């Protein structure tokens, strides 16, 4: 039985969009075409809802099993429909989906679970994101696009339509998987290196502090990915965290540049603050990965930005670019992030100002408008999200962009020097 075949065209390939379709999107790859909303058509055995739901515990962190399925992908680049057999399908995310009728689960499609080493247009897996509180369906794409435009290595995001056994499931943000070998190979020229995923929801949040010389003391927080092992933890992660825990600011400033790219870390923190994103490295201390090339220094790779661009999820009294954290976190803080902002205070404030140019409503609002126009024809038939309500929450998104931009520019200007 063939694994992958291409059939004749079922639709006309749309014209590529060149204006405001979302920053950080590469138009020459079919999964990330900024002007297309292609369809994924999953063919899976009847009863799939019950089987996927049974394997899905929104509060649990055990590995979830995949159902075997066939996926038909309508390639916007060729105008042809591709058939991919033996694809793993499961639910993704951790929401309980009880807050609103607009809540729906996301899906993860794995092209290498049943056929190891297979890739799908350069990726191993894709994430069709559920709402999980983001009824605009735009925050992930806008936020990670800003990350990419700011020079931070980040996943790409587009949008797609999903059908399961012929039933239209709606419009989903389509996000690149950031914690596998395919992503590392696509972003970094060096082969090998160390890659760690901060577990966050399924482990401890990362304060980025030294614990001991025992590598197993870190695996509850920093999960080795893409072939990384305990020897790598001892060789690079532990020395970096030991430096990060240096007693004085002078000692920190002396050793830290040997372990991480300070400028890139300040940019990543600056974007978290400017958006804002309380769920990222600089807020909750989660939803990021650490990558160290064989001969290089640690860089941050963010992911999962669906709580970005909202002012409702952080403590109103602590909305400063030096102290932004979620309401649910209490007093826990990512210690190294705070020290970086203080030791390199003027550089950090300048980084916030630089990033703020990318989050200026004069730039972001037209992009949001164009994305709304792109998705509207498909949203009118979305079975879960009322398209009129969807337009109202996008209006709220515009307001948030303007308010946050004004706030961070005022604060960063006062400390940039």
Q: Report the chain's mean pLDDT, rounded to a whole number.
A: 87
Tokens, residue 375: 């998705």
Question: By percentage, how much of the chain surpasses pLDDT 70?
Answer: 87
Same domain, 157 and 197: no
Tokens, residue 68: 């075997």
Same domain, 168 and 275: no
DSSP label of 111: S
Same domain, 227 and 276: yes
Asked if the structure places residue 365 within a domain, the reply is: no
Please list the residues that pair with 173 across neighbouring strands. Answer: 159
pLDDT band at 252 (very low <50, low <70, confident <90, very high): very high
Which of 145, 176, 207 finishes a domain?
176
Same domain, 140 and 200: no
- In the predicted model, what is the mean pLDDT of residues 278-296? 89
Same domain, 71 and 33: yes
Tokens, residue 102: 């607009």
Higher-pLDDT residue of 11, 139: 139
Q: How far apart are CA 166 and CA 39, in angstroms?
A: 11
Tokens, residue 307: 């709580």
Over residues 305-352, the pLDDT tens digits come to 988 998 887 776 678 899 887 877 666 667 899 999 999 999 999 999
* Residue 291 structural domain: 191-335
Angle of CA points 206, 209, 214, to nearest 5°? 100
Q: How far apart are CA 402 and CA 387, in angstroms?
A: 23
Q: CA distances (Å), 346 to each of 236, 320, 322, 359, in order?
A: 28, 15, 12, 20
Asked if the structure places residue 400 within a domain, the reply is: no
Over residues 43-80, the pLDDT tens digits come to 999 999 899 888 877 666 667 889 999 999 999 999 99
Reported pTM: 0.90
Asked if the structure places residue 56 within a domain, the reply is: yes
The total domain count for the chain is 2
Is residue 24 over pLDDT 50? no
Same domain, 162 and 213: no
Is residue 41 over pLDDT 60? yes
Same domain, 63 and 147: yes
pLDDT on residue 203 = 63
Same domain, 97 and 231: no
Tokens, residue 239: 């020395």
pLDDT on residue 10 = 29
Which of 302, 335, 368 finishes a domain?
335
pLDDT on residue 60 = 65
Tokens 């989906």 belong to 97
pLDDT on residue 389 = 93
Higher-pLDDT residue of 317, 1: 317
Same domain, 23 and 97: yes
Tokens, residue 184: 């590392």
pLDDT on residue 93 = 75
Over residues 214-240, the pLDDT tens digits come to 999 998 889 998 889 999 999 999 999
Same domain, 302 and 239: yes
Listing from the earlier edge strand, what are the strands of the sheet with 222-225?
Answer: 222-225, 194-198, 288-292, 299-302
Over residues 349-365, the pLDDT tens digits come to 999 999 999 999 999 99
Strands (E), 297-415: 299-302, 314-320, 323-326
Asked if the structure places residue 32 within a domain, the reply is: yes
Asked if the structure places residue 298 within a domain, the reply is: yes
Asked if the structure places residue 301 within a domain, the reply is: yes
């Amino acid at each position: 039985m063939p694994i992958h075949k291409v059939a004749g065209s079922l639709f006309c390939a749309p014209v590529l969009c060149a204006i405001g379709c979302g920053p950080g999107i590469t138009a020459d790859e079919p999964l990330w075409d900024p002007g297309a909303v292609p369809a994924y058509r999953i063919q899976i055995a009847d009863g799939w809802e019950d089987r996927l739901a049974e394997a899905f515990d929104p509060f649990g962190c055990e590995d979830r099993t995949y159902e075997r399925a066939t996926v038909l992908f309508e390639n916007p680049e060729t105008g042809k429909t591709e058939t991919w057999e033996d694809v793993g399908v499961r639910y993704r995310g951790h929401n309980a989906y009880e807050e609103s009728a607009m809540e729906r689960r996301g899906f993860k499609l794995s092209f290498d679970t049943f056929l190891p080493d297979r890739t799908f247009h350069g990726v191993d897996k894709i994430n069709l994101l559920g709402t999980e509180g983001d009824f605009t369906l735009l925050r992930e794409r806008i936020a990670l696009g800003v990350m990419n435009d700011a020079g931070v290595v980040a996943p790409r995001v587009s949008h797609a339509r999903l059908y399961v056994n012929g039933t239209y499931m709606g419009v989903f943000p389509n996000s690149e998987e950031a914690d596998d070998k395919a992503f590392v190979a696509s972003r970094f020229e060096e082969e090998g290196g160390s890659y760690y995923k901060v577990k966050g929801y399924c482990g401890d949040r990362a304060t980025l502090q030294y614990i001991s010389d025992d590598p197993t003391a870190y695996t509850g927080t920093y999960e080795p990915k893409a072939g990384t092992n305990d020897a790598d933890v001892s060789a690079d992660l532990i020395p970096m965290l030991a430096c990060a825990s240096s007693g004085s600011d002078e000692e920190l400033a002396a050793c830290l540049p040997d372990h991480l790219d300070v400028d890139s870390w300040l940019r990543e923190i600056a974007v978290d603050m400017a958006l804002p994103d309380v769920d990222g490295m600089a807020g909750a201390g989660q939803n990021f990965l650490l990558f160290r090339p064989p001969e290089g220094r640690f860089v941050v790779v963010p992911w999962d930005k669906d709580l970005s661009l909202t002012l409702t999820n952080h403590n109103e009294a602590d909305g400063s670019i030096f102290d932004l954290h979620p309401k649910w976190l209490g007093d826990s803080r990512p210690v190294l992030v705070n020290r970086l902002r203080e030791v390199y205070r003027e550089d950090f404030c300048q980084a916030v100002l630089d990033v703020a140019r990318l989050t200026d409503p004069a730039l972001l609002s037209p992009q949001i408008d164009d994305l709304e126009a792109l998705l509207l024809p498909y949203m009118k038939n979305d079975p879960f999200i009322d398209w009129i309500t969807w337009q109202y929450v996008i209006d709220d998104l515009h307001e948030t962009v303007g308010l946050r931009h004004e706030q961070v520019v005022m604060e960063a200007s006062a400390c940039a020097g």
